[in-house]
Amino acid sequence: MRPLVLCAVLGGCGFQATRALDPDAAPQELDGGATVDGAIDGAIDGADCFARWRDGSVALSTPQRLTSVNGGGDDRDPWISRDRLTLYFASNRNVVNEIFRAGRTSAELPFGPPDRLINLTVAGKQQDRASLTDDQRTLVLSSNRGGKFQIFVTGRPDTTTEFGSPNQDHLAQVNAGNVDNFDPFIATDARRLYLTTDPGGPAHPKLVVATRLDPGGDFSAPSDVPGVNVNGVDTADPALSPDERVIVFSSNRDGGRGKLDLWYAVRPDIQREFSPPVPIPTVNTDEDDADPMLSADGCELYFAARRDGDFDLYVSQVAR
């Protein structure tokens, strides 16, 4: 997430084939009697829905609001663990944007009450979009604690230890220049870092990627993610499949429903350019839709959407 001075805002496989899918349906809130929270007919363990993303046949259920974690203010930037038991997100429910974490004991249950991660917070500064490696031992985020929004990193020895205060080790080339950097997404092997860079002025935010030879080395200067940026429009919020062959992001480019919409593109391998992006079916409305994040099997899409004045978190499942 970045402050949307862009245009509007500052700031399962498991479904039956007979389920009707309306590509223009708006997200719906779960009924009070529902027993699950964003995992209705949840993604089948071991399933892989990315084949549908890659061949263009992906269809998604009507998005459901994650009512157990949504709070006052804007809730954005979801990141979901491989087992779908841990959810990180950003929220300004306490005035300034901070990172929160929620957990659950089963992917078929609602998330519990979220905790504010105070070790990742600097008072009076914004903390946006936490992204973790697959082992959840390295975390990157964006923050304006140094003035401009830049990328920060922190690590821990195991998942039972809390993260320490973020630093900028190995990120000097990523943060070089008079630009704002938002929306970091770190690859599974920690060798590539995708992000949004915004030079400001007449330029528009775009997606870039920085690389390094090993997980303990310095990242290179970022270069454009090939195939996804369009001159004169805003492109942001990158998130990728574990093999980095599917990318989802937000953009206000032509061909969407209006304002910010969710898009995706595919490629045969990480050395190749992405195919022309297309809107993600079902989830977009004429309001802002942003911050997409795919589950590790591609069977769930988490995102943030503005429906009632504030951004809330939603989830949608790939239909089988």
Q: Domain coordinates of the chain in residue numbers?
A: 50-317
Confidence check: pLDDT of 26 > 50: no
Tokens 């809330």 correspond to what residue? 312
The pLDDT-based confidence of 1 (bands split at 50, 70, 90) is low
Confidence check: pLDDT of 133 > 80: yes
Confidence check: pLDDT of 177 > 70: yes
Domain boundaries 50-317, corresponding CATH code? 2.120.10.30
- What pLDDT shows up at residue 24? 40
Higher per-residue confidence, 12 vs 305: 305
Q: What angle do CA 182, 184, 188 make, to 5 degrees?
A: 175
The whole-model pTM stands at: 0.86
Contacts within 8 Å (CB) and 24+ apart, 104-112: 107/39, 107/42, 107/43, 107/83, 108/36, 108/39, 108/42, 109/36, 109/37, 109/39, 110/36, 110/37, 110/38, 110/67, 110/68, 111/37, 111/38, 111/66, 111/68, 111/69, 111/87, 112/68
- What pLDDT shows up at residue 19? 31
The pLDDT-based confidence of 11 (bands split at 50, 70, 90) is very low
Ramachandran category for residue 201: left, alpha or beta (phi over 0 → left; psi -120 to 50 → alpha)? left
Q: What is the mean pLDDT of residues 288-311?
A: 95
In degrees rounded to 5, what are phi and psi of residue 165?
-65, 135
Lowest mean pLDDT among 14-23, 49-58, 210-219, 308-317: 14-23
Confidence check: pLDDT of 10 > 50: no
Higher per-residue confidence, 194 vs 202: 194
Lowest mean pLDDT among 9-23, 52-66, 98-112: 9-23
% of residues, the chain, pLDDT over 70: 85
Q: What is the mean pLDDT of residues 210-237?
A: 96
Q: What is the mean pLDDT of residues 125-149?
A: 96
The pLDDT-based confidence of 53 (bands split at 50, 70, 90) is very high
> Which tokens go with 39?
């995992």
**Contact indicator for 294, 300 with CB cutoff of 8 Å:** yes
Confidence check: pLDDT of 13 > 50: no
Q: What is the mean pLDDT of residues 86-110?
A: 96
Contacts within 8 Å (CB) and 24+ apart, 216-225: 216/170, 217/170, 218/170, 218/171, 218/172, 218/173, 219/170, 219/171, 219/173, 219/174, 219/193, 220/173, 221/173, 221/174, 221/176, 222/173, 222/174, 222/193, 222/195, 222/197, 225/194, 225/274
Q: What is the mean pLDDT of residues 75-89?
A: 98
Q: What is the pLDDT of residues 35-52, one digit of tens each?
A: 334 333 334 344 589 999
Q: Is 155 exposed, middle or buried (0-12, 13-18, 19+ CB in 10 A)?
A: middle
- What pLDDT shows up at residue 36? 35
List, edge to edge, every strand of the sheet that includes 261-266.
235-240, 246-251, 261-266, 278-279
Short-list 21, 63, 50, CA closest to 287: 63
- What pLDDT shows up at residue 258? 80
How do 278-279 and 180-186 pair as beta strands? unpaired
The pLDDT-based confidence of 71 (bands split at 50, 70, 90) is confident
Find all residues with CB under 8 Å of 66, minimum gap 6, and list them: 37, 38, 87, 111, 302, 312, 313, 314, 315
Confidence check: pLDDT of 29 > 80: no
- What pLDDT shows up at residue 15? 30
Confidence check: pLDDT of 248 > 90: yes
Confidence check: pLDDT of 17 > 50: no
In the chain, the N- to C-terminal Cα span, in Å, equals 30
Contacts within 8 Å (CB) and 24+ apart, 210-213: 210/173, 210/174, 212/170
**Summary mean pLDDT of the chain:** 87
d(CA 19, CA 127): 39
